[in-house]
Amino acid sequence: MMKQSAWRQMTEPGFWAGVLVVLCTLSVGADVHQALKTPSMLSKVLQRHKRDWKWDKLYVHEEMPPKHPPEKIGKLENTYFTPSARYNLSGDGANKIFTVNDNGDILVHAKLDREEKSIYRLTASLFNVDSKKQLDQDDSFVIVVLDINDNSPVFPPDISGSISESSRAGSVVMSVKATDADDPTTQNGMVGYKLLNGTDLFSINYNGEIRTLTSSLDREKQSQYLIAIQAKDMPGVNQRGNSATTIVTVNINDINDNIATFKSREYRFNVKEDSEPGYQIGVLAVEDKDEIQNKDPTFTIHKFGEVFDIKQSNTKDGALSLKVPLDYETLKAYVFSVNVDEHTVSKSPDNRGPNLLTRAQVVINVIDVDEPPVFSQTLYNFSIYEGPFKNPIIGAVSAKDPDATAYKIRYSIEDPNCPVVVDPVQGHLSLKKQLDREEESSYTIQVTAHEDVPNGLKSYAKVNLTVLDINDNAPVLTNGNGVYVCESDKPGTIIGTVGAHDKDENSGRFRFTLAKKSSNFSLTDNRDNTASIKLKQGGFSTEHSVEHVLEIEIADGGTPEQKSTERLTIKVCMCQAERQVEYCMAYAQTGMSVSAILAILLCIVTILVIVILMVLRRRYQKEVLVTKSSGEIHEQLVRYDEEGGGEMDTNGYDVSILSSACNDGSFRPATGPSLYAVVKKPSACKGDMAMMIEVKKDEADHDRDGIPYDTLHIYGYEGSESLAGSLSSLDSSSSGSNLDYDFLHEWGPRFRTLAQLYGVDGSDTDSSD
């Protein structure tokens, strides 16, 4: 069978909306799709062989309410159709929206919406109702939903655009676009635009492009326009179609088209005379209708441009500032004029007119301030020679009160260590003491000037005092250590080079000469502030400890010339090749080291002696402790205590007993105040050791508990005031030579044998130990 195509003209009630060509084909699936998507294929009649299907009227209008009975939109036909054959549908909406009856009629059961689904793809099959056997191959077909104008154009929300003021006519402001859901290939989906107002300023074309109609848009007059725009489908067809309106905001952007003008004809400011340079005096307010970023005024100052400066402020006004300090006493007021100019991109009509203030007068009143004294210089620079001076005056400072009051000024130097004093009235600076450049070569002195009134203002000046040099220092030798003579040195060898140093500055050239001729060395002045020492004859040996001293006279060449004679000790050394020192015999240093060694030895000996003495002392104390009972020690202590009182201590002694003993010469060892006192008496009176020894002996013989003989040494400490007199061997020599050696007992146990040898009773000493 041949495949057929169908043409159908679609009509909306009342008018021809257009012609829709629908191709119905009997073809294999893919080809059908292709055919429908490609408009050029629509008019083509496609022919297929071996196909026995036939389609008819396969399109349906959208938005049609379902009818009863359902509307037939087409018919399936197949050459294999028999009364026992049945059609079946499958695919989009099959058996729900679209059904097929036994005759092959396709019925629609629902209202369709093209904007929801515009094409339904279905497959038809034919089978035997009894055997369910398929009678022909399945075939696909489409049902096209035809559009009606059921949607209105829709604008996006909040549309706005902008254009600079004074833009030329025809400039594009913005584009608007409304969308319509209907088929865009038909009038139903096409949109046209129209301005509802503002048509004197703007226009809109069919694309929705808004343009200006005038170049006189002025932000300063109106910065924003709201214009109403209508969008309508079915453009070109009046009274038909759906429409929508929106309000579009058109902002007018600012450009610099207005000039700046002064807000006032005169500006007045007061400025204190002590204001610092850079001080912001004030602002000359300026009028400029443009937005701040488009204001660009420039200012010109017509007089006193060296004193004042005017610049654009942050607010684009004129900021007036001070360039130099003012002085009320010089000028009390400044009057000058200032111009404001502005280069504008385009001229606003407002820029013309006789009343525009582009020039203003500025009046600055200087306010008087009490000012501190002003020195004639902030830094004074004086110099004076070091050393003794004839005239102590260095120079003078001067300061004045700049105010009209003109107070007297007094000068002072606050630093008490300053070597300079200032005359409080005249400002003369003079030296307090002699200066030494080599100690301190310059001084910075602060001089104070203050108004000679209570609470007067102060100011300060610096005085830089440079101490000038005089040649007052003699040169000294340098490099002396590098001069030595080697045993192997041949005559003529330069054995070293010496230099000189002088604390004074710029002391010319040093001159070197030998103060004393030397048979062994010669000296050559190198005329470059050094001198070389040359060997005249060899034969030096480290074995001969002879000191080689060269006396060199150095003159510093200054005025007055200063000279010094320096002793250069030359070492004799043992050297290797190229005068490399191996060992030196340095006399001066050897002498030094000998004395050092001696000193060290002396120290060691002293320390040794001290150590030995300490050891001995310890041993002695130990023996005493070991050999004496604690009771005896106690006794000894008691006696030492009493001894402090001497003769005058009547508590410790019974002086009457003592006196009586002296008077009658007799002594009874009876019940004395103390054993000690009793023991003393005889010797005290007679001055005779024999007497005392006798008493002592008796006592020892009769009283075994008495004091040991050793304690006789107590008498030795009685002192000159003692009635007992001296115990010295000279005085007591007459009483027997065997008693002269009592002091041996004082010397401790080590001298016991000696004491025994010199006449002390052996039995007594034995018992005491």
Q: How far is the CB of 265 from ligand NAG (least distance, A)?
A: 40
Q: What residue ranges bind ligand NAG (CB under 6 A)?
A: 88, 90, 127, 197-198, 225-228, 247, 379, 381, 383, 442, 444, 464, 466, 518-520, 539-540, 544, 546, 548
Q: Are strands 563-575 and 484-486 parallel, antiparallel or unpaired?
A: parallel
Q: How far is the CB of 519 from ligand NAG (least distance, A)?
A: 5
Nearer to ligand NAG, 32 or 126 (CB): 126
CA dihedral angle for residue 513, residue 515, residue 516, residue 521, rounded to 10 degrees: -30
Residue 473 region, left (φ>0) first, then alpha (ψ -120 to 50), else beta? beta
Nearer to ligand NAG, 12 or 92 (CB): 92
> Contact, 406 vs 448, CB < 8 A?
no
Q: How far is the CB of 125 from ligand NAG (least distance, A)?
A: 7
Nearer to ligand NAG, 546 or 633 (CB): 546
Q: Which has the closest alpha carbon to 109: 155, 65, 149?
A: 65
DSSP string spanning 37-88? Answer: H-HHHHT-----SS--EE----EEETTPPP-SSPEEEEE-EETT--TTEEEE
Q: How far is the CB of 489 from ligand NAG (least distance, A)?
A: 11
Q: How far is the CB of 515 from ligand NAG (least distance, A)?
A: 13
Q: How far is the CB of 55 from ligand NAG (least distance, A)?
A: 18
Strands (E), 356-478: 359-367, 374-375, 379-385, 393-396, 399-400, 409-413, 420-422, 428-431, 442-451, 458-468, 476-478
> Contact, 210 vs 176, CB < 8 A?
yes
Nearer to ligand NAG, 105 or 329 (CB): 105
Dmax (CA) of the chain:
196
Nearer to ligand NAG, 67 or 96 (CB): 96
Nearer to ligand NAG, 185 or 197 (CB): 197
Burial classification of residue 98, based on how many CB atoms lie within 10 Å of its CB (0-12 exposed, 13-18 middle, 19 or more buried): buried
**Distance of alpha carbon 227 from the chain centroid:** 61
- At which residue do the structure tokens 């040093």 appear? 510
Nearer to ligand NAG, 124 or 692 (CB): 124
CB atoms within 10 A of CB 26: 24
Nearer to ligand NAG, 223 or 660 (CB): 223
Q: How far is the CB of 214 from ligand NAG (least distance, A)?
A: 13
Determine phi and psi for 409, rounding to 5 degrees: -110, 140
Nearer to ligand NAG, 492 or 539 (CB): 539
Q: How far is the CB of 548 from ligand NAG (least distance, A)?
A: 6
Nearer to ligand NAG, 548 or 686 (CB): 548
d(CA 204, CA 197): 11
Q: How far is the CB of 197 from ligand NAG (least distance, A)?
A: 4
Q: How far is the CB of 127 from ligand NAG (least distance, A)?
A: 6
Q: How far is the CB of 130 from ligand NAG (least distance, A)?
A: 11
Burial classification of residue 225, based on how many CB atoms lie within 10 Å of its CB (0-12 exposed, 13-18 middle, 19 or more buried): middle
**CA dihedral sign, ordered 310, 312, 313, 315:** positive
Q: Are strands 266-272 and 280-284 parallel, antiparallel or unpaired?
A: unpaired
Nearer to ligand NAG, 546 or 597 (CB): 546
Nearer to ligand NAG, 434 or 464 (CB): 464
**Distance of alpha carbon 596 from the chain centroid:** 56
d(CA 481, CA 284): 82
d(CA 216, CA 222): 11
d(CA 82, CA 138): 16
